[in-house]
A and B are shown apart, each in its own frame.
Chain A
Amino acid sequence: MSEVTQTRLWLAQRISAMVLAVAVAIHLTGIIIAIQGGLSAAEIIGRVGGSFTLAAFYGVFVLACAVHAPIGLRTVLAEMTDLKPVSVNGIAGAFAAVILLMGMQAVLGFYGLGGG
């Protein structure tokens, strides 16, 4: 992997960190407000399901996670294990794919449930 790519990954991690900081704040505030109206599955689906805005927001959230966490994992593995760079990049890439798939499945799942 070239130095330019390595530096871009680092930059992507910083930028996704900023996105995450905002997203986590909104997410937590949202939860605290939403809990006031009850915490049943039906309640949650009623609020979140079918909302394009919320689906878009959580889509960005998942994307930022899928960028941020695997790059950090890549650094930790490189510093703390004897794994070869190919393996490290492979594991980090797979981790990104898992986060992206699971996260998007959840987001689309809620969206698909409609407004309850």
Chain B
Amino acid sequence: MSEILVVEIWRGAEDGHFQSFDVPRLENQTVLDVVTYVQRKLDPGLSYRFSCRVGMCGSCAMTVNGTPRWTCRTHVSRVAEDGQLQIAPLRNLPVIKDLTVDMRNFFDKLAKAGGAFQSTKARTDNFAQIPPADPRRKQADAGIECIGCAVCYAACDVVTWKPTYLGPAALNRAWTLVNDARDGMGDKRLSLVAGDDGCIACHSQQGCQEHCPKNLSPTAAIAGLKRSVAVAALKGKL
């Protein structure tokens, strides 16, 4: 293990540049540790985001050596190439400064795709009883662990080509709710995810599931949405 890591970090907004820093190499060091070292010891002006440091909050995603990753759970040993690390902001989102991007588009699209649970019961009603083996529940469970990190969104080429595309995370979220027996939005949600900006724009190239740190498969969720949307369209229910 070399003692010093040469780290290139993006500085500025869209028209910025990479700045090089020397960071002492430590054992079990994560990419987030590296960025934090730079901010604490070398340049307090460096902007970046993190919160939980344990892979739960979804705020620390960056582009590491060209690949979108959650930095708090990415060990330097896994990604450094010849003691070199290049850290840039996430792709497909406007850069605010350094490593921080404007996530509004990403979160707005979650809402646009009907990502909010619509309850059919009041708090006085009894709990819904859904067997864990229920096929629909299994579909919902498969995508429920999303932490909203936007790694998939940064990995998706369709988002790059068509900035209005809802993207993998929003569609994955919609699919969990389509399969949630307690949710009351029904076909309305399918109309929200249909159309040129919705699930039918996905090319099924699986960049999203290749990069999702939670190993989810938005591609499979989107395929499910496509089937449901096709059936709804044939029945005239969109």
* Docked-complex contact A4 and B233, CB < 8 angstroms: yes
* Docked-complex contact A3 and B161, CB < 8 angstroms: no
Interface of chain B residues 213 through 238 with chain A (CB within 8 A): 229-230, 233-234, 238
Chief secondary structure at chain A's binding surface? helix
The number of chain A residues with a CB under 8 A from chain B is 14
Shortest CB-to-CB span from A19 to chain B, Å, is 16
Shortest CB-to-CB span from B191 to chain A, Å, is 7
* Docked-complex contact A4 and B196, CB < 8 angstroms: no
Size band of the B side of the interface?
10 to 19
- Count of chain A to chain B residue pairs whose CB atoms are closer than 8 Å in the complex: 37
* Docked-complex contact A10 and B162, CB < 8 angstroms: no
* Docked-complex contact B233 and A7, CB < 8 angstroms: yes
Q: Chain A 1-33 against B: per-residue CB contact (8 Å), 1 yes, 0 no?
A: 111101110110010000000000000000000
**Cβ of A73 < 8 Å from any Cβ of B?**
no
Chief secondary structure at chain B's binding surface? helix
Interface of chain B residues 153 through 169 with chain A (CB within 8 A): 158, 161-162
Which residues of chain A come closer than 8 Å to B196, judged between CB atoms?
A: 1, 3, 6, 78
Shortest CB-to-CB span from B75 to chain A, Å, is 36
**Cβ of A80 < 8 Å from any Cβ of B?**
yes
Q: Could you tell me the distance between the alpha carbons of A11 and B231 in the complex, rounded to whole angstroms? A: 10
Query: CB < 8 Å: which of B162, B194, B201 contacts A4?
Result: B194
A85's closest neighbor in chain B, by CB? B196
Q: Could you tell me the distance between the alpha carbons of A100 and B158 in the complex, rounded to whole angstroms? A: 30
Shortest Cβ-Cβ A-B pairs, 6 listed: A3-B195, A79-B161, A7-B194, A10-B200, A6-B195, A6-B196
* 6 A–B pairs (Cβ distance < 8 Å), ordered by A: A4-B233, A4-B238, A6-B194, A6-B200, A7-B200, A7-B233
